[in-house]
Amino acid sequence: MNRRAAAPAAPRTAPRTAVRAPAKGAGEVRIIGGQWKRTRLPVLDKPGLRPTPDRVRETLFNWLGQDLTGWRCLDAFAGTGALGFEAASRGAASVLLVEGDAALAAQLETLRQRLQANAVRVQRGDGVAALRQCTPASMHLLLIDPPFGGELFAPALQAAAQAVAPDGFIYLEAPAAWTQEQLNPLGLALHRHLKAGAVHAHLLHKA
């Protein structure tokens, strides 16, 4: 797989699934592209729950080239599942959604069943531990969007650097920009960066 230079492509035009999950709590977000384009995902009213903005998700999947057919993905801090379901919607072969909160994990499983998302698996647990359990150099896309107030960024990146395939990518969402100097000790390189409001979105790969 060599997708590093993939150019933005038009969204896939697979049949749309007419699935609407009822909105609860803080509102809802929508899947932007692929098989489940415009499908609504509920956002529970949970402290620290911060769905990735639409603009950022759209940019991320433009960077990745839209078509993720055959990719192995892990969303380590899944929350609403917006990033992971977005990857599955674009053809990823397997997507593991890891979430520590019991209510959020249950909601993710409900959504998985409603969408009949056979490529998606939901696991309640610790995101960093899940990253560490990955077979080395096996994952095409690792999604890292932990709570902004915590200390999970460095250990998550350390584990992801071991799990990512040589031609794979790590997506990091953080409250501040990570510099190349910070990434060098991890053996990672910055491929793309976007600032949108309080969010810094990074696309990383092996150095």
Residue 118 contacts residue 36 (beta carbons within 8 Å): no
Residue 144's DSSP bridge partners are 172
Report the predicted TM-score, pTM, of the whole model to 2 decimal places: 0.85
What's the topology of domain 52-206? Rossmann fold (3.40.50)
Q: How far is CA 7 from CA 80, 164, 192, in A?
A: 28, 21, 13
> Token pair of 16, please?
């749309």
What mean pLDDT comes out for the span 155-179? 97
Q: Residue 21 pLDDT more than 70? A: no
Question: Smallest Cα–Cα separation from 42: which of 78, 4, 81?
Answer: 81
Residues in the chain: 207
Q: Residue 73: what residue type?
A: C
Q: How sure is the predictor about 59, in pLDDT bands with cuts at 50, 70 and 90? A: very high
Residue 1, pLDDT above cutoff 80 = no
For the chain, what are the domain ranges?
52-206
Q: Tokens at residue 5, please?
A: 């230079």
The residue whose two tokens read 């990033």 is 83
**Residue listed under structure tokens 């409900």:** 110
- At 47 the pLDDT is 67
Q: How many CB atoms lie within 10 A of CB 62?
A: 16
Sheet with 120-124, edge to edge strand ranges: 120-124, 94-99, 72-75, 139-144, 164-174, 199-206, 188-196
pLDDT greater than 50 at residue 190: yes
Q: Is it the case that residue 192 has pLDDT exceeding 50?
A: yes
**Nearest 5 degrees, angle CA 201-CA 190-CA 123?**
55
Neighbours of 171 (CB within 10 A): 27
Distance CA 32, CA 35 (A): 10
Q: Which range is least confidently modeled, 18-22, 95-99, 127-131, 183-187?
A: 18-22
| Mean pLDDT within 119-147 | 97
Q: What is the pLDDT of residue 42?
A: 84
